[in-house]
Homo-oligomer: A and B are copies of this chain.
């Protein structure tokens, strides 16, 4: 919590406003800059910050990788690059060296932490009075978290600030320099970019947000592998990746009446409990959000169709750990939820958190794991090293990574992500009328499918005489996909696709997706196809036809029929 202190600074502020106006002569007009910033933010708000980066850097890699992956079971060979990190960093221009402007101490700055008394911040040794900018800040009141201190740690959390025009705007508000002593103190503080230790990522990923890192694999690669290689498994981080020393790692299990909290080391988790392996698909609640965005803008990362992947996970059963910690079945009368806390935390120290129903956590058939392996290796850093929760059949958000604490409770997690996010609403509900308490937290996800090949806008060759359509299908809650229907005419007529799954799952435990494929003759007398897919699970749940009636303000649960338009190129030679 930030305490906003009152201080005296009216005269000085008056003087400095003149200075700011003088400075502005040498730069574009403030109005113009702010307008420009807002416009760019407006189009990229919600994590699409790296849209332009993605488009300029990814395609070459994508094509190279697609070549490597030709054929089933191709080995992923790639160089690990951190171009993304470097690209974002080098965009920040260094601020000019100290001038003859007024000198302030850190104490002077610290006194300006409110609209009433002025909002001052420092950046690379300079001092800025951003009071007037607060109301124009596209990110809203969050800017006040930095009041009276340095901008660096906050800008580091939100990479949208690493752009030249943002620094231009900031320069308008410069009121002086920080004292030499306080500059030295700031410089001796270790780099405060919490993302500086994030792992390097696979260059084929389509990046939706760099800080925090959110990315999906190219759709055409996704359906090449029943088990998604870890490197291209979609990444959905809410915060910086925490650095966890496996030797010092402790998992705390609390909330069981009459029992002491249980603390387990990584070694104990691996050796005291049987190791189970489950193949499970994880899907982000926002997968296919971009289709909802086309109906009406929603809040959230603009995911395509690949915020879903499939892996094998190994670890201890949550049920076994809860039993060791003192869980007894009769407790089910009192407690209803199992909360998880991650070791990833924001600038205020708040950790990521979520919860699942106790019923799922302790069911023999629930298969909830405290996983320490993914695809036969230690969990990668992006996927929760050293321990994460895997809740098969349940939305990705409850599969808490970098797991630090488990709490058995009468209540759901109080976290933002459980209470005020990841819930579905009627298309009639907007941000003025939404009552987050009125909807249940998403747990099991509904039936889903999408076309990974051909891609939207692709051109088919008439001489091929047929088209092969590929995709994935999955349903939450352990419900098995039993059929995928494919249409080449926008849903007027249908054909049944071939399903390609793993082993026949046990009833109610179909945690993994099915890939599917259909090869059909190219229809004559048309140059355009609207290819559509829809899946059915073994509870005979079906996907809704269209997006608009399931539109919701957070853009979650986007599972209408997937549609891809392609054209047929006629052979002019014949």
**Contacts A439-B482, A439-B483, A557-B540 known; A426 to B545 CB distance under 8 Å?**
no
Query: In the complex, what distance in Å separates the CA atom of A314 from the CA atom of B485?
Result: 41
A105 within 8 A of B: no
Knowing A507-B336, A549-B494 touch, does A541 contact B447 (C-beta < 8 A)? yes
A549 touches B446 (CB 8 A): no
Interface membership of A211, Cβ < 8 A = no
The reply to whether B536 and A424 form a contact with Cβ atoms under 8 Å apart is yes
* Smallest CB gap from A329: residue in B: B364
Contact in complex: B446, A541 (CB < 8 Å): yes
A375 sits at the interface (CB 8 A):
no
Closest beta carbon of chain B to A511's beta carbon, Å: 14
Query: Does chain B have a CB within 8 A of A491?
Result: yes
- A485–B545 touching, CB < 8 Å: no
Interchain CB contact under 8 A, A428 and B507: no
Instruction: Indicate if the CB atoms of B445 and A496 lie closer than 8 Å.
Output: no
Q: In the complex, A476→B482 CA distance in Å?
A: 17
Interface contact B428-A495, CB-CB below 8 Å: yes
State whether B542 touches A443 (Cβ < 8 A): no
Chain B residues with CB below 8 A from A538, complex form: 440, 443-444
A538 to B440, CA, bound (A): 7
Task: State whether the Cβ of A359 lies closer than 8 Å to any Cβ in chain B.
Answer: yes
B357:A507 contact, CB within 8 angstroms: yes
A529 in the interface, Cβ–Cβ < 8 Å? no
A319 CB contacts on chain B under 8 angstroms: none
Q: Contact at A494–B428, with CB atoms within 8 Å?
A: yes
The proximity string for A residues 316-334 relative to B, scoring 1 for CB distances below 8 Å and 0 otherwise, is 0000000000000000000
| Alpha-carbon separation in the docked complex, A443 to B507 (Å) | 11
Q: How far is the CB of A146 from chain B (nearest CB, A)?
A: 36
The complex places the Cα of A483 from the Cα of B427 at a distance, in Å, of 12
Whether B426 and A539, one on each chain, are in contact in the complex, defined by CB atoms closer than 8 angstroms, is no
Q: Interface readout for A436-452 with B: 1 if CB under 8 Å, 0 if not?
A: 00011011111100000
Residues of B within 8 A of A193 (CB): none
**From residue 520 to 559 of chain A, which have CB atoms closer than 8 A to chain B?**
534, 536, 538-546, 549-550, 557, 559
Contact check, B428 vs A496: say whether CB atoms are below 8 A apart.
Answer: yes
**A491 and chain B: residue at smallest CB distance:** B549
Q: Tell me, in angstroms, the Cα distance from A507 to B444 when the chains sit together.
A: 12
Give the distance in Å from the alpha carbon of A559 to the alpha carbon of B541 in the complex.
Answer: 9
Does A377 reach chain B (CB closer than 8 Å)?
Answer: no
Give the CA-CA distance A424 to B539 in the complex, in Å: 10
* B-contact bits for A477-504, CB 8 A (1 contact / 0 none): 1000011010000010111100000000
- Which residues of B are found within 8 Å of A542, using beta-carbon distances? 446, 544, 550, 559
Asked whether any CB of chain B lies closer than 8 Å to the CB of A461, the reply is no
Give residues of chain A (409-451) contacting chain B, Cβ–Cβ below 8 Å.
424, 426-429, 439-440, 442-447
Whole-angstrom distance between the Cβ of A358 and the nearest chain B Cβ: 8
B494/A440 in contact, CB under 8 A:
no
Q: Say yes or no for A508: interface residue by CB 8 A criterion.
A: yes
Give min CB distance, A47 to chain B, whole Å: 22
CB distance from A342 to the nearest CB of B (A): 23
Q: How far is the CA of A477 from the CA of B444 in the complex (A)?
A: 12
Q: Is there an interface contact between B540 and A424, defined as CB atoms closer than 8 Å?
A: yes
Pick from A424, A493, A549 the residue with the most CB of B within 10 Å.
Answer: A549
Specify the chain B residue showing the minimal Cβ separation from A508.
B359
A447 to B540: give the CA distance in the assembly, Å: 9
Determine how close the nearest CB of chain B comes to the CB of A61; give it in whole angstroms: 35
- From B426, B506, B539, B559, A446 is in contact (CB under 8 Å) with B539
CB of A205, distance to nearest CB on chain B (Å)? 27
A365 close to B (CB within 8 Å): yes
Complex Cα–Cα for A482 and B442 (A): 11
Q: Which residues of B contact A442 (CB under 8 A)?
A: 540
CB-defined A-B contacts under 8 Å, sample of 9: A360-B507, A426-B483, A426-B494, A428-B493, A440-B482, A442-B540, A542-B550, A543-B544, A545-B546
Q: Which 3 A-B pairs have the closest CB atoms?
A: A545-B545, A444-B539, A357-B507
Q: Which residues on A are within 8 Å of B, measured CB to CB?
A: 336, 357, 359-360, 365, 424, 426-429, 439-440, 442-447, 476-477, 482-483, 485, 491, 493-496, 506-508, 534, 536, 538-546, 549-550, 557, 559
Q: Could you list 17 further interchain pairs (A-B, Cβ under 8 angstroms) beyond the known A429-B496, A446-B540, A542-B544?
A: A359-B507, A424-B540, A426-B485, A426-B494, A427-B494, A428-B495, A442-B540, A444-B540, A446-B539, A446-B542, A447-B541, A491-B549, A542-B550, A543-B544, A544-B544, A545-B546, A545-B549
